[in-house]
Amino acid sequence: MIQTTRRSLLTVSAAALALATLPRVALAATAPIFAEGGIAINGTDPVAYFTENRPVAGDPQFSTDYMGATWYFASAENLDQFRNAPEEFAPQFGGYCAYAASKGYIAPTVPEAWTIYEGKLYLNANLRARELWLEDIPGNIALAQDNWPNILK
């Protein structure tokens, strides 16, 4: 039988306080691009959202590295367009869920939940997040931009 004494409670409390005041180990920062397995935005061609108005699966034979991730494209033409101006085609907030960024956290995305607003691509975690995103795009962008510098730390 274990007997709890005042002294043992004080010892446990002191140990917990000591642990709480120790410097915390720095965790690795989140990658700036949503890239499962090193492949950006689920292997979807970011240029196709603009040129075909829909998500299109990229092909590994048409790929490039950008911001620490490998990006796939459906054609050599789309690959060239991206290489010439990646900032015009890469999704905002690193391809992480734009709605989640507006709430102060990151979330993965799915190709089907997307929006182009004022010439920029925004991806969302799912279609429900996209619905919430669409309720106030300018407001959500402003919130996400304010949150973004600290989210990846």
Classify residue 103: in a domain, yes or no.
yes
Average pLDDT for 69-81: 98
> pLDDT higher for 1 or 83?
83
Task: Please tell me the predicted confidence (pLDDT) of residue 131.
Answer: 98
Domain that holds residue 122: 91-153
Classify residue 37: in a domain, yes or no.
yes
Q: Cα–Cα distances in Å, from 115 out to 71, 123, 126?
A: 19, 7, 12
Residues 42 and 80 in one domain: yes
Average pLDDT for 8-17: 40
Task: Please tell me the predicted confidence (pLDDT) of residue 16.
Answer: 37
**For the chain, how many structural domains are there in total?**
2
Classify residue 9: in a domain, yes or no.
no
Model confidence band, residue 140 (pLDDT cutoffs 50, 70, 90): very high
Neighbours of 137 (CB within 10 A): 16
- Whether residue 20 has pLDDT greater than 90: no
Classify residue 2: in a domain, yes or no.
no
Model confidence band, residue 56 (pLDDT cutoffs 50, 70, 90): very high
